[in-house]
Structure 1
Amino acid sequence: MTRSAQTLRSCLLAAVLLLPGGCYYAHVARGQASLLVHRQPIDHVLADPATDAAIADRLKLALQARRFASDALGLPRNGSYTRYVDLHRPYVVWNVFATPAYSIKAVNHCFPIAGCVAYRGYFSQVQATREADRLRAQGNDVSVGGVPAYSTLGWFDDPVLSSMLRWDDDELAGEVFHELAHQRVYVAGDTAFNESYATFVQRQGLDDWRHARGLGPVDPRGDRMEAAFTHLVIDFRQSLADIYAGGGDTAALAEKKRAAFADFRERYARWRDADFAGDKRYDAWVAGDLNNASLLPFGLYEQWVPAFTALFAQVHGNWSAFHARVAALARKPKQARQAELEALATSTCATPCG
């Protein structure tokens, strides 16, 4: 299953980390401090004869992508992704999502600068599990997802993490582009804008990266399947919202909810076999312990990608002009920003053109 479908990336800011008091803030501060302490310059890791050859190859690729991001894509030129941390665990952060039992609206968490987000991130899986248990005890639906990478939005020089090295070349390079895009433009409290912008930069940047390396374009089948699956889940999420809006006693709602999830699994199997026969990348997720909270991340990464595609075409693929236009959008009030994004998304260049 793709990373964007599994979980929502975290954005943990220095302003949050340095807030006094509070067990959660103290936990996040310790986790971020640990990363800072254990960072090593990648050049030093590569010069160490004890470094595993496979790890060295991945780190060399990360540095190449890092340079390309600034030289060719107009992304920040700083110390991010020039250092390495071996986490000795599969993920850097675990995100905890929650919704009421009969609602698809997230239990939001609000922070300075970052704004409100639909999750809380924990550097410890044990603490994430404790938070999940606490939220379940309140009657919420809860989902926990591991996060291989996150951004501090330029407050610190984010390192390459060992959790990122298990990806293939395209995923690793694309992740560097994605996280650096967050450092270039970020709007507090507008996750769909932030993630759609970074996702466009990741995808278009990866196309440019592959072209510069003499490679063919990315196979579009994976993106097509991910987009189609995302729409399938979003449609299901809306059908759940309609069920919950209809009201009823708890027993009746519980039965309708159970039946809806069963129907979704059947519709998924029919869709997969009809359109993507033999591709089972989403089977394990669909067969798992799904609930309202499991559905929260879907759509946040793709909602405005057509709008940014059109914007990129309008500036004829000029990255500097593109980022400037995005920054101008970011400065607008949310209602005006969304109106312009909607207009862009329905324009003639909402799919690659020009």
Structure 2
Amino acid sequence: MKAFFLLVFVLCASGCQIPWYASNASGIVERIANSKTSDQLLAELPQEAPHRKALEDLPEVLEFARDKGLNVGGAYQRIDVMPDPVSFIVIAAQPESLTLHQWDFPIVGLAPYKGYRFLKHAQREAQALQSQGLISCVYPVEAFSSLGWFPEALPGAILSLSEPRRVRIIFHELVHRTIFFPGKADLNESLANYLGDEFAKEWIEKRYGRASVQFVDLHDEIQDQERLRQRVLRLKEQWSAPTLQDDLEQFQEELRSETWMSQMGREQSVRIWTLPMILMLQVYDSGAWPWKEVWEKCQGDVDVLQWLIQREFLGTP
């Protein structure tokens, strides 16, 4: 019922964006309607299925998240079995100011990305932005959060990921479900990345130990993420609008020559990096805020963390 009233409010408040909201809302409804429970999928899967273990582990992952204070609610009790991406995200940047374009949404406020159910709609939006002189791109997303408004299904593609990558995504999205500040995308994403990684490290260490292959893989992913972050920070110190193309080409070459420890790092090194994609890395940068110190001050209490962020970062009681 809460989700229904939110949808009505959003559709009424969105004006000319009603077709976009209606398309995304219908897509979410369709995905939930076609989803299956873990037990249903386990009954259908052969014993040797590669992601069977991921399904069997899911209840324990969610229980661990609850114990950490995350608002799991009814999330991920079902699996989204539709093969296409959950959504297609449009991002864009101003080449003169080297800043991200922002969209203004009801409820969630300003955000530097906009999601579409269908690729052709996302591409149409990207082309419209390009006609205005912006640099834009479209990419598929592997997961999303309803921010606690309805019980989202877990995208089935996540089950095929390595365990470190899988639990990082799940914890990241559950952080969004628990703590969200409208119009503060950089804070929200940075926090979700930091806590998602912290909870993933705890989960993997508790389950397998620090000497395990799983923990080493997770450590390598996080280290490669930090290495990429440092490269981006150096790029931003020296780039300028007139030299942007040369700066990006040099950045790309540096990534290709880097020695990466994880599969994720190697994938990042061969990616074609555009201005909006690099700026989006900064939105998700877990090192952009002093989360380690803040989390220690909260002694691992998520409720205290939310209160402390409101008081110290947002200036609200």
TM range (shorter): 0.7 to 0.9
Distance 1:112 1:332 in 2: 24
Name which of 148, 152, 155 aligns with 1:154: 148
Name which of 83, 91, 94 aligns with 1:88: 83
Distance 2:87 2:5 in 1: 16
Structure 1 position 323, deviation (Å): 0.9
Contact 1:61 1:169 in 2 (8 A): no
Contact 1:192 1:303 in 2 (8 A): no
2:222 is the alignment partner of 1:223: yes
Tell me the TM-score normalized by structure 1. Answer: 0.76
Distance 2:228 2:99 in 1: 20
Structure 1 position 234, deviation (Å): 3.1
Distance 1:78 1:32 in 2: 17
Distance 2:118 2:59 in 1: 28
Structure 1 position 291, deviation (Å): 2.9
Distance 1:42 1:227 in 2: 34
2:30 is the alignment partner of 1:38: no
Do the aligned partners of residues 14 and 134 (structure 1) sit closer, same or farther apart at CA in structure 2, a change above 3 Å counting?
farther
User: Which residue identity is paired with 2:100?
Assistant: A
Do the aligned partners of residues 88 and 292 (structure 1) sit closer, same or farther apart at CA in structure 2, a change above 3 Å counting?
same
Name which of 128, 138, 142 aligns with 2:132: 138
Structure 1 position 55, deviation (Å): 3.9
User: SS at the partner of 2:150?
Assistant: coil
Distance 1:153 1:216 in 2: 32
1:56-205 alignment runs, 5 A limit = 56-71=52-67, 73-89=68-84, 91-205=85-199
Contact 2:145 2:176 in 1 (8 A): yes
Distance 2:130 2:279 in 1: 16
Task: Give 1:15's aligned residue.
Answer: 6
User: SS at the partner of 1:128?
Assistant: helix
User: SS at the partner of 1:54?
Assistant: coil
2:246 is the alignment partner of 1:259: yes
Do the aligned partners of residues 102 and 176 (structure 1) sit closer, same or farther apart at CA in structure 2, a change above 3 Å counting?
same
Do the aligned partners of residues 52 and 140 (structure 1) sit closer, same or farther apart at CA in structure 2, a change above 3 Å counting?
farther
Task: Give 1:326's aligned residue.
Answer: 305
Do the aligned partners of residues 231 and 52 (structure 1) sit closer, same or farther apart at CA in structure 2, a change above 3 Å counting?
same
Deviations 1:127-156 (A, max 9, x none): 111211222222210121211000011101
User: SS at the partner of 2:66?
Assistant: helix
Distance 1:126 1:48 in 2: 33
Distance 1:130 1:200 in 2: 34
Deviations 1:194-235 (A, max 9, x none): 122222221121122123213326333332221121221233
User: SS at the partner of 1:142?
Assistant: strand
Tell me the TM-score normalized by structure 2. Answer: 0.84
Distance 2:88 2:268 in 1: 20
Say which is worse superposed, 151-160 or 128-137, in terms of deviation. 128-137
Displaced runs of 4+ in structure 1, greater than 6 A?
49-52, 275-279
User: SS at the partner of 1:189?
Assistant: coil
Task: Give 1:282's aligned residue.
Answer: 268
Contact 2:194 2:286 in 1 (8 A): no
Structure 1 position 334, deviation (Å): 4.8
2:296 is the alignment partner of 1:313: yes
Deviations 1:233-273 (A, max 9, x none): 23323433xx23xxxxxxxx3xx332222332344455x15
Distance 1:221 1:50 in 2: 32
Aligned residues: 303
Structure 1 position 49, deviation (Å): 6.2
Distance 1:68 1:267 in 2: 39
Structure 1 position 95, deviation (Å): 0.7
Contact 1:104 1:237 in 2 (8 A): no
Do the aligned partners of residues 207 and 14 (structure 1) sit closer, same or farther apart at CA in structure 2, a change above 3 Å counting?
farther
Distance 1:303 1:13 in 2: 33
User: Which residue identity is paired with 1:302?
Assistant: D
User: SS at the partner of 2:147?
Assistant: coil
Contact 1:14 1:156 in 2 (8 A): no
- Indicate the RMSD between aligned Cα atoms, in angstroms: 2.9
Task: Give 1:24's aligned residue.
Answer: 20
2:277 is the alignment partner of 1:298: no
User: Which residue identity is paired with 2:267?
Assistant: R
Deviations 1:173-205 (A, max 9, x none): 222211111111111111222122222221121
User: SS at the partner of 1:139?
Assistant: coil
Structure 1 position 52, deviation (Å): 7.9
